[in-house]
Structure 1
Amino acid sequence: MAEQGEEVILLDFWASMFGMRVRIALAEKGIRYEYREQDLRNKSQLLLDSNPVHKKIPVLIHNGKPICESSIIVEYIDEVWNNKAPLFPSDCYAKARARFWADFVDKKFYLSGRKLYTTKGEEHEAARSEFIECLKLLEGELGDKPYFGGESLGFLDISFIPFYAWFQAYETYGNFNFEHECPKLFAWAKRCIRDNESVSKTLPEMPKVFDFVQHMRKRFGLDD
Protein backbone atom coordinates (compact mmCIF):
# COMPACT_ATOMS: atom_id res chain seq x y z
CA MET A 1 0.00 0.00 0.00
CA ALA A 2 1.04 3.61 -0.37
CA GLU A 3 3.50 4.67 2.33
CA GLN A 4 2.47 7.19 4.93
CA GLY A 5 2.78 10.67 3.47
CA GLU A 6 2.32 9.47 -0.10
CA GLU A 7 -0.49 11.09 -2.05
CA VAL A 8 -2.15 8.96 -4.72
CA ILE A 9 -5.08 10.41 -6.68
CA LEU A 10 -6.88 8.82 -9.61
CA LEU A 11 -8.83 10.99 -12.06
CA ASP A 12 -11.23 8.62 -13.78
CA PHE A 13 -14.71 7.93 -15.15
CA TRP A 14 -16.64 4.95 -13.84
CA ALA A 15 -17.43 3.33 -17.21
CA SER A 16 -13.96 3.70 -18.71
CA MET A 17 -12.34 0.34 -19.44
CA PHE A 18 -9.00 2.16 -19.44
CA GLY A 19 -9.66 3.55 -15.99
CA MET A 20 -10.80 0.13 -14.77
CA ARG A 21 -7.44 -1.40 -15.62
CA VAL A 22 -5.70 1.19 -13.45
CA ARG A 23 -8.14 0.51 -10.59
CA ILE A 24 -7.50 -3.24 -10.88
CA ALA A 25 -3.73 -2.69 -10.81
CA LEU A 26 -4.02 -0.45 -7.74
CA ALA A 27 -6.18 -3.07 -6.02
CA GLU A 28 -3.74 -5.86 -6.93
CA LYS A 29 -0.96 -3.88 -5.25
CA GLY A 30 -3.10 -2.94 -2.26
CA ILE A 31 -2.62 0.80 -2.79
CA ARG A 32 -4.90 3.25 -1.05
CA TYR A 33 -5.82 6.21 -3.23
CA GLU A 34 -8.30 9.04 -3.62
CA TYR A 35 -10.74 8.50 -6.46
CA ARG A 36 -12.04 11.59 -8.24
CA GLU A 37 -14.83 10.95 -10.73
CA GLN A 38 -14.62 13.19 -13.80
CA ASP A 39 -17.39 14.72 -15.89
CA LEU A 40 -16.04 14.14 -19.40
CA ARG A 41 -18.33 16.79 -20.91
CA ASN A 42 -17.18 19.35 -18.37
CA LYS A 43 -13.59 18.41 -17.61
CA SER A 44 -12.04 19.59 -14.36
CA GLN A 45 -9.18 22.02 -14.38
CA LEU A 46 -7.08 19.44 -12.55
CA LEU A 47 -7.61 16.95 -15.41
CA LEU A 48 -6.77 19.57 -18.07
CA ASP A 49 -3.65 20.63 -16.17
CA SER A 50 -2.58 17.04 -15.46
CA ASN A 51 -3.03 15.78 -19.03
CA PRO A 52 -2.70 18.85 -21.25
CA VAL A 53 -1.74 16.80 -24.32
CA HIS A 54 -4.71 14.42 -24.57
CA LYS A 55 -7.05 15.87 -21.92
CA LYS A 56 -8.26 12.32 -21.16
CA ILE A 57 -8.77 10.05 -18.20
CA PRO A 58 -7.36 8.12 -16.49
CA VAL A 59 -4.63 10.13 -14.84
CA LEU A 60 -2.75 8.91 -11.78
CA ILE A 61 -1.27 11.69 -9.66
CA HIS A 62 1.47 10.39 -7.37
CA ASN A 63 2.87 12.96 -4.95
CA GLY A 64 1.79 15.77 -7.27
CA LYS A 65 3.23 14.19 -10.43
CA PRO A 66 0.72 13.13 -13.10
CA ILE A 67 1.11 9.90 -15.09
CA CYS A 68 -1.11 9.52 -18.17
CA GLU A 69 -2.22 6.70 -20.50
CA SER A 70 -3.54 3.59 -18.78
CA SER A 71 -0.92 1.07 -19.93
CA ILE A 72 1.87 3.42 -18.88
CA ILE A 73 0.13 3.97 -15.53
CA VAL A 74 -0.15 0.21 -14.90
CA GLU A 75 3.53 -0.25 -15.69
CA TYR A 76 4.38 2.66 -13.37
CA ILE A 77 2.33 1.08 -10.58
CA ASP A 78 4.10 -2.24 -11.08
CA GLU A 79 7.55 -0.64 -10.92
CA VAL A 80 6.94 1.77 -8.03
CA TRP A 81 5.00 -0.55 -5.73
CA ASN A 82 7.12 -3.64 -6.26
CA ASN A 83 6.54 -5.17 -2.82
CA LYS A 84 3.72 -7.32 -4.24
CA ALA A 85 3.80 -9.92 -7.01
CA PRO A 86 4.80 -8.31 -10.33
CA LEU A 87 2.15 -7.71 -12.97
CA PHE A 88 4.61 -8.19 -15.81
CA PRO A 89 6.46 -11.43 -16.60
CA SER A 90 10.18 -11.37 -15.81
CA ASP A 91 11.13 -12.84 -19.19
CA CYS A 92 11.90 -10.03 -21.65
CA TYR A 93 10.23 -11.72 -24.62
CA ALA A 94 7.09 -12.54 -22.63
CA LYS A 95 6.98 -8.93 -21.40
CA ALA A 96 7.28 -7.59 -24.96
CA ARG A 97 4.56 -9.98 -26.11
CA ALA A 98 2.21 -8.83 -23.33
CA ARG A 99 2.83 -5.22 -24.34
CA PHE A 100 2.14 -6.05 -27.99
CA TRP A 101 -1.23 -7.64 -27.25
CA ALA A 102 -2.22 -4.86 -24.86
CA ASP A 103 -1.50 -2.40 -27.67
CA PHE A 104 -3.64 -4.56 -29.99
CA VAL A 105 -6.49 -4.35 -27.44
CA ASP A 106 -6.13 -0.57 -27.15
CA LYS A 107 -6.12 0.07 -30.87
CA LYS A 108 -7.71 -2.65 -32.98
CA PHE A 109 -10.09 -4.26 -30.48
CA TYR A 110 -11.29 -1.07 -28.80
CA LEU A 111 -11.98 0.75 -32.07
CA SER A 112 -13.87 -2.12 -33.69
CA GLY A 113 -15.90 -2.55 -30.48
CA ARG A 114 -16.77 1.14 -30.40
CA LYS A 115 -18.04 0.94 -33.98
CA LEU A 116 -20.49 -1.80 -32.99
CA TYR A 117 -22.63 0.72 -31.13
CA THR A 118 -21.79 3.94 -33.03
CA THR A 119 -22.21 2.95 -36.69
CA LYS A 120 -24.78 1.45 -39.05
CA GLY A 121 -24.83 -0.28 -42.42
CA GLU A 122 -21.68 -1.50 -44.15
CA GLU A 123 -19.36 0.13 -41.62
CA HIS A 124 -21.16 -1.70 -38.83
CA GLU A 125 -20.96 -5.04 -40.63
CA ALA A 126 -17.23 -4.56 -41.23
CA ALA A 127 -16.75 -3.68 -37.56
CA ARG A 128 -18.65 -6.77 -36.45
CA SER A 129 -16.43 -9.06 -38.56
CA GLU A 130 -13.30 -7.31 -37.33
CA PHE A 131 -14.42 -7.46 -33.70
CA ILE A 132 -15.06 -11.21 -33.79
CA GLU A 133 -11.74 -11.72 -35.59
CA CYS A 134 -10.01 -9.76 -32.80
CA LEU A 135 -11.68 -11.98 -30.19
CA LYS A 136 -10.49 -15.12 -31.96
CA LEU A 137 -6.93 -13.77 -32.22
CA LEU A 138 -6.93 -13.04 -28.49
CA GLU A 139 -8.34 -16.48 -27.77
CA GLY A 140 -5.50 -17.94 -29.82
CA GLU A 141 -2.97 -16.01 -27.73
CA LEU A 142 -4.59 -17.28 -24.54
CA GLY A 143 -4.50 -20.88 -25.73
CA ASP A 144 -5.08 -23.38 -22.95
CA LYS A 145 -3.52 -21.24 -20.22
CA PRO A 146 -5.63 -20.06 -17.24
CA TYR A 147 -4.37 -16.50 -17.81
CA PHE A 148 -2.53 -14.83 -20.66
CA GLY A 149 0.73 -14.83 -18.71
CA GLY A 150 0.33 -18.32 -17.27
CA GLU A 151 -1.04 -19.24 -13.87
CA SER A 152 -1.97 -15.86 -12.40
CA LEU A 153 -3.48 -12.50 -13.30
CA GLY A 154 -0.99 -10.28 -15.10
CA PHE A 155 -0.59 -7.18 -17.24
CA LEU A 156 -2.42 -8.42 -20.35
CA ASP A 157 -5.31 -9.84 -18.31
CA ILE A 158 -5.64 -6.52 -16.50
CA SER A 159 -5.50 -4.68 -19.83
CA PHE A 160 -8.28 -6.74 -21.41
CA ILE A 161 -10.69 -7.86 -18.67
CA PRO A 162 -12.30 -4.40 -18.18
CA PHE A 163 -13.83 -4.73 -21.65
CA TYR A 164 -15.92 -7.61 -20.34
CA ALA A 165 -18.12 -5.06 -18.53
CA TRP A 166 -19.11 -3.76 -21.97
CA PHE A 167 -20.00 -7.14 -23.46
CA GLN A 168 -23.76 -6.81 -23.09
CA ALA A 169 -23.51 -3.80 -25.40
CA TYR A 170 -21.07 -5.52 -27.76
CA GLU A 171 -23.24 -8.64 -28.02
CA THR A 172 -26.50 -6.69 -28.38
CA TYR A 173 -25.35 -4.29 -31.08
CA GLY A 174 -22.96 -6.76 -32.69
CA ASN A 175 -25.58 -9.53 -32.75
CA PHE A 176 -23.28 -12.33 -31.59
CA ASN A 177 -22.76 -14.54 -28.55
CA PHE A 178 -19.38 -14.26 -26.84
CA GLU A 179 -19.50 -17.70 -25.22
CA HIS A 180 -20.46 -19.36 -28.49
CA GLU A 181 -17.81 -17.57 -30.57
CA CYS A 182 -14.91 -17.88 -28.12
CA PRO A 183 -15.61 -20.36 -25.30
CA LYS A 184 -12.03 -20.38 -23.95
CA LEU A 185 -11.91 -16.60 -23.80
CA PHE A 186 -15.34 -16.52 -22.17
CA ALA A 187 -14.14 -19.01 -19.53
CA TRP A 188 -11.04 -16.83 -18.97
CA ALA A 189 -13.26 -13.78 -18.32
CA LYS A 190 -15.35 -15.70 -15.80
CA ARG A 191 -12.18 -16.98 -14.12
CA CYS A 192 -10.74 -13.46 -13.83
CA ILE A 193 -13.87 -12.29 -12.03
CA ARG A 194 -14.40 -15.40 -9.90
CA ASP A 195 -10.83 -15.76 -8.65
CA ASN A 196 -9.64 -12.16 -8.38
CA GLU A 197 -11.28 -9.74 -5.98
CA SER A 198 -9.42 -6.85 -7.62
CA VAL A 199 -11.44 -7.58 -10.78
CA SER A 200 -14.81 -8.49 -9.28
CA LYS A 201 -14.89 -5.38 -7.08
CA THR A 202 -13.81 -3.07 -9.90
CA LEU A 203 -15.93 -4.06 -12.89
CA PRO A 204 -19.35 -2.37 -12.97
CA GLU A 205 -22.43 -4.48 -13.68
CA MET A 206 -23.06 -5.06 -17.39
CA PRO A 207 -26.62 -3.64 -17.34
CA LYS A 208 -25.31 -0.37 -15.91
CA VAL A 209 -22.77 -0.07 -18.74
CA PHE A 210 -25.39 -1.10 -21.28
CA ASP A 211 -27.70 1.66 -20.04
CA PHE A 212 -24.82 4.13 -20.43
CA VAL A 213 -24.24 2.94 -24.02
CA GLN A 214 -27.96 3.31 -24.81
CA HIS A 215 -27.84 6.92 -23.63
CA MET A 216 -24.76 7.51 -25.78
CA ARG A 217 -26.53 6.11 -28.84
CA LYS A 218 -29.42 8.49 -28.26
CA ARG A 219 -26.99 11.40 -28.08
CA PHE A 220 -25.44 10.25 -31.36
CA GLY A 221 -28.91 10.09 -32.95
CA LEU A 222 -28.68 6.33 -33.52
CA ASP A 223 -31.74 5.51 -31.39
CA ASP A 224 -35.00 7.35 -30.88
Structure 2
Amino acid sequence: MASETIIDLTNVQVFIKKHLVLSNVSIQINKGEFVFLVGKNGSGKSSFLKTLYGELKLEHGEGNVAGFNLKELKRKKVPFLRREIGIVFQDFQLLTDRSVNDNLKFVMKATGWKEKRKMEEAIQELLTKVGLGTKGFKFPHELSGGEQQRVAIARALVNDPDIILADEPTGNLDPETSNEIMKLLFSIAQNGKAVLMATHDYELMAKFPGRKLSFEKGTIDPGIAKVEVPNEKNASQSID
Protein backbone atom coordinates (compact mmCIF):
# COMPACT_ATOMS: atom_id res chain seq x y z
CA MET A 1 0.00 0.00 0.00
CA ALA A 2 1.46 3.33 -1.05
CA SER A 3 2.12 5.96 1.61
CA GLU A 4 -0.18 8.95 1.59
CA THR A 5 1.47 12.34 1.17
CA ILE A 6 0.18 14.79 3.78
CA ILE A 7 2.61 17.71 3.20
CA ASP A 8 3.63 18.62 -0.36
CA LEU A 9 5.68 21.77 -1.06
CA THR A 10 7.13 22.75 -4.43
CA ASN A 11 9.53 25.69 -5.02
CA VAL A 12 8.26 27.42 -1.88
CA GLN A 13 9.71 30.70 -0.66
CA VAL A 14 9.06 31.78 2.92
CA PHE A 15 9.01 35.47 3.77
CA ILE A 16 8.60 37.40 7.01
CA LYS A 17 7.20 40.69 5.74
CA LYS A 18 9.62 41.42 2.88
CA HIS A 19 12.55 39.45 4.30
CA LEU A 20 13.28 36.19 2.48
CA VAL A 21 13.85 33.44 5.05
CA LEU A 22 13.78 30.26 2.95
CA SER A 23 13.84 29.64 -0.80
CA ASN A 24 13.59 26.72 -3.23
CA VAL A 25 11.86 24.47 -0.70
CA SER A 26 10.48 21.29 -2.31
CA ILE A 27 9.47 18.60 0.18
CA GLN A 28 7.03 15.72 0.43
CA ILE A 29 6.18 14.19 3.81
CA ASN A 30 3.97 11.13 4.20
CA LYS A 31 1.65 9.98 6.95
CA GLY A 32 3.54 7.83 9.45
CA GLU A 33 6.87 9.64 8.95
CA PHE A 34 8.87 11.01 11.86
CA VAL A 35 10.91 13.99 10.67
CA PHE A 36 13.51 16.00 12.56
CA LEU A 37 13.98 19.69 11.67
CA VAL A 38 17.59 20.63 12.37
CA GLY A 39 19.53 23.86 11.96
CA LYS A 40 20.97 26.83 13.81
CA ASN A 41 18.82 29.43 15.54
CA GLY A 42 17.53 31.80 12.87
CA SER A 43 17.80 29.21 10.10
CA GLY A 44 14.05 29.31 9.43
CA LYS A 45 12.64 26.32 11.33
CA SER A 46 9.97 28.31 13.16
CA SER A 47 9.03 30.23 10.01
CA PHE A 48 8.69 26.93 8.17
CA LEU A 49 6.34 25.59 10.85
CA LYS A 50 4.32 28.83 10.83
CA THR A 51 3.87 28.45 7.08
CA LEU A 52 2.57 24.91 7.51
CA TYR A 53 -0.11 25.95 10.01
CA GLY A 54 -1.10 29.13 8.21
CA GLU A 55 0.45 31.76 10.47
CA LEU A 56 2.61 32.95 7.58
CA LYS A 57 0.85 33.31 4.23
CA LEU A 58 2.35 31.33 1.35
CA GLU A 59 2.89 33.80 -1.49
CA HIS A 60 5.47 32.02 -3.67
CA GLY A 61 5.49 28.38 -4.77
CA GLU A 62 2.90 25.66 -4.26
CA GLY A 63 1.95 24.07 -0.96
CA ASN A 64 -0.62 21.51 0.11
CA VAL A 65 -0.99 20.56 3.79
CA ALA A 66 -3.63 18.06 4.95
CA GLY A 67 -5.67 18.76 1.83
CA PHE A 68 -5.50 22.56 2.11
CA ASN A 69 -3.96 24.67 -0.65
CA LEU A 70 -1.78 27.11 1.33
CA LYS A 71 -1.53 29.62 -1.50
CA GLU A 72 -5.32 29.93 -1.79
CA LEU A 73 -6.03 29.65 1.94
CA LYS A 74 -8.22 32.47 3.20
CA ARG A 75 -7.77 33.75 6.75
CA LYS A 76 -11.23 32.53 7.77
CA LYS A 77 -10.26 28.99 6.69
CA VAL A 78 -7.07 28.84 8.80
CA PRO A 79 -8.91 27.41 11.87
CA PHE A 80 -10.07 24.48 9.70
CA LEU A 81 -6.47 23.79 8.65
CA ARG A 82 -5.38 23.90 12.28
CA ARG A 83 -7.88 21.22 13.23
CA GLU A 84 -5.78 18.90 11.07
CA ILE A 85 -2.56 19.94 12.85
CA GLY A 86 -1.57 19.44 16.48
CA ILE A 87 1.11 21.78 17.85
CA VAL A 88 3.41 21.03 20.81
CA PHE A 89 5.56 23.85 22.22
CA GLN A 90 8.75 23.80 24.27
CA ASP A 91 7.18 25.74 27.14
CA PHE A 92 3.93 23.69 27.23
CA GLN A 93 1.64 26.80 27.10
CA LEU A 94 -0.95 25.28 29.43
CA LEU A 95 -3.61 27.41 31.14
CA THR A 96 -2.29 27.55 34.71
CA ASP A 97 -5.63 28.42 36.35
CA ARG A 98 -7.39 25.30 35.02
CA SER A 99 -7.12 21.58 35.66
CA VAL A 100 -5.71 19.20 33.08
CA ASN A 101 -9.24 18.18 32.11
CA ASP A 102 -10.29 21.80 31.68
CA ASN A 103 -7.20 22.57 29.59
CA LEU A 104 -8.31 19.93 27.11
CA LYS A 105 -11.96 20.95 27.35
CA PHE A 106 -11.01 24.55 26.51
CA VAL A 107 -9.47 23.43 23.19
CA MET A 108 -12.42 21.18 22.46
CA LYS A 109 -14.96 23.96 22.92
CA ALA A 110 -12.84 26.32 20.82
CA THR A 111 -12.82 23.83 17.95
CA GLY A 112 -16.51 23.02 17.91
CA TRP A 113 -17.07 20.18 20.38
CA LYS A 114 -20.55 20.39 21.95
CA GLU A 115 -21.59 17.25 23.82
CA LYS A 116 -20.36 17.08 27.41
CA ARG A 117 -20.32 13.28 27.61
CA LYS A 118 -18.33 12.92 24.38
CA MET A 119 -15.82 15.49 25.61
CA GLU A 120 -15.37 13.71 28.94
CA GLU A 121 -14.95 10.33 27.26
CA ALA A 122 -12.44 11.71 24.75
CA ILE A 123 -10.44 13.49 27.48
CA GLN A 124 -10.12 10.28 29.51
CA GLU A 125 -9.06 8.36 26.41
CA LEU A 126 -6.46 10.98 25.49
CA LEU A 127 -5.00 11.18 28.99
CA THR A 128 -4.79 7.41 29.18
CA LYS A 129 -3.02 7.36 25.81
CA VAL A 130 -0.31 9.74 27.10
CA GLY A 131 0.04 7.97 30.46
CA LEU A 132 -1.91 10.46 32.60
CA GLY A 133 -5.18 8.61 33.06
CA THR A 134 -5.45 9.51 36.76
CA LYS A 135 -4.13 13.10 36.56
CA GLY A 136 -7.05 14.93 34.95
CA PHE A 137 -8.06 16.70 38.16
CA LYS A 138 -4.59 18.13 38.79
CA PHE A 139 -3.43 21.64 37.88
CA PRO A 140 -0.29 22.25 35.78
CA HIS A 141 1.78 23.41 38.79
CA GLU A 142 1.10 20.05 40.44
CA LEU A 143 2.71 18.16 37.56
CA SER A 144 6.33 17.56 36.59
CA GLY A 145 7.72 19.07 33.40
CA GLY A 146 7.38 15.75 31.60
CA GLU A 147 3.79 15.37 32.72
CA GLN A 148 2.99 18.90 31.55
CA GLN A 149 4.43 18.09 28.15
CA ARG A 150 2.30 14.93 28.02
CA VAL A 151 -0.75 17.13 28.64
CA ALA A 152 0.41 19.37 25.79
CA ILE A 153 0.67 16.32 23.52
CA ALA A 154 -2.81 15.17 24.57
CA ARG A 155 -4.09 18.66 23.74
CA ALA A 156 -2.44 18.43 20.30
CA LEU A 157 -4.28 15.15 19.68
CA VAL A 158 -7.75 16.48 20.62
CA ASN A 159 -9.05 16.62 17.05
CA ASP A 160 -7.20 13.49 15.84
CA PRO A 161 -5.00 15.52 13.47
CA ASP A 162 -2.98 14.01 10.63
CA ILE A 163 0.08 16.13 11.48
CA ILE A 164 1.89 16.89 14.75
CA LEU A 165 4.32 19.83 14.79
CA ALA A 166 6.60 19.74 17.84
CA ASP A 167 8.82 22.79 18.36
CA GLU A 168 11.68 21.81 20.72
CA PRO A 169 9.31 19.64 22.82
CA THR A 170 12.14 18.27 24.97
CA GLY A 171 14.07 21.53 25.31
CA ASN A 172 13.11 22.08 28.97
CA LEU A 173 13.24 18.44 30.07
CA ASP A 174 15.91 16.22 31.61
CA PRO A 175 17.38 13.41 29.47
CA GLU A 176 15.32 10.58 30.99
CA THR A 177 12.06 12.50 30.59
CA SER A 178 13.07 13.53 27.06
CA ASN A 179 13.42 9.85 26.15
CA GLU A 180 9.94 9.14 27.44
CA ILE A 181 8.44 12.03 25.45
CA MET A 182 10.27 10.80 22.34
CA LYS A 183 8.81 7.30 22.80
CA LEU A 184 5.37 8.86 22.98
CA LEU A 185 5.89 10.97 19.84
CA PHE A 186 7.24 7.96 17.95
CA SER A 187 4.21 5.89 18.95
CA ILE A 188 2.02 8.65 17.50
CA ALA A 189 3.89 8.39 14.18
CA GLN A 190 3.46 4.62 14.25
CA ASN A 191 -0.29 5.22 14.40
CA GLY A 192 -0.16 6.96 11.03
CA LYS A 193 0.46 10.61 11.93
CA ALA A 194 3.21 12.69 10.35
CA VAL A 195 5.35 14.05 13.21
CA LEU A 196 7.72 16.97 12.55
CA MET A 197 10.01 17.86 15.44
CA ALA A 198 12.38 20.83 15.60
CA THR A 199 15.31 20.07 17.88
CA HIS A 200 18.94 20.84 18.70
CA ASP A 201 19.39 17.58 20.62
CA TYR A 202 21.66 15.44 18.46
CA GLU A 203 21.90 12.75 21.14
CA LEU A 204 18.14 12.20 20.90
CA MET A 205 18.37 12.04 17.13
CA ALA A 206 21.04 9.33 17.43
CA LYS A 207 18.77 7.27 19.70
CA PHE A 208 15.69 7.79 17.57
CA PRO A 209 16.82 7.71 13.93
CA GLY A 210 14.46 9.38 11.48
CA ARG A 211 14.42 11.55 8.42
CA LYS A 212 16.18 14.88 8.87
CA LEU A 213 15.36 18.16 7.16
CA SER A 214 18.49 20.31 7.41
CA PHE A 215 17.96 24.07 7.44
CA GLU A 216 21.06 25.75 6.05
CA LYS A 217 22.09 28.48 3.63
CA GLY A 218 18.56 29.79 3.33
CA THR A 219 16.94 26.57 2.16
CA ILE A 220 16.10 23.02 3.32
CA ASP A 221 17.86 19.80 2.42
CA PRO A 222 14.90 17.37 2.31
CA GLY A 223 16.93 14.35 3.39
CA ILE A 224 15.92 10.79 2.53
CA ALA A 225 12.51 10.62 0.87
CA LYS A 226 11.12 7.87 3.13
CA VAL A 227 12.26 6.69 6.55
CA GLU A 228 10.56 3.96 8.54
CA VAL A 229 9.79 4.72 12.16
CA PRO A 230 11.58 2.20 14.41
CA ASN A 231 9.17 -0.15 16.12
CA GLU A 232 8.64 0.16 19.85
CA LYS A 233 11.00 -2.71 20.63
CA ASN A 234 13.84 -1.19 18.63
CA ALA A 235 13.19 2.27 20.03
CA SER A 236 13.32 0.88 23.56
CA GLN A 237 16.54 -0.92 22.82
CA SER A 238 18.13 2.27 21.52
CA ILE A 239 17.32 4.01 24.81
CA ASP A 240 18.74 1.37 27.13
Superposition TM-score tier, normalisation by shorter sequence: 0.3 to 0.5
Structure number with the higher helix fraction is 1
Structure 1 length-normalised TM: 0.33
Structure number with the higher strand fraction is 2
The answer to which structure, 1 or 2, has the higher relative contact order (CA under 8 A, 6+ apart) is 2
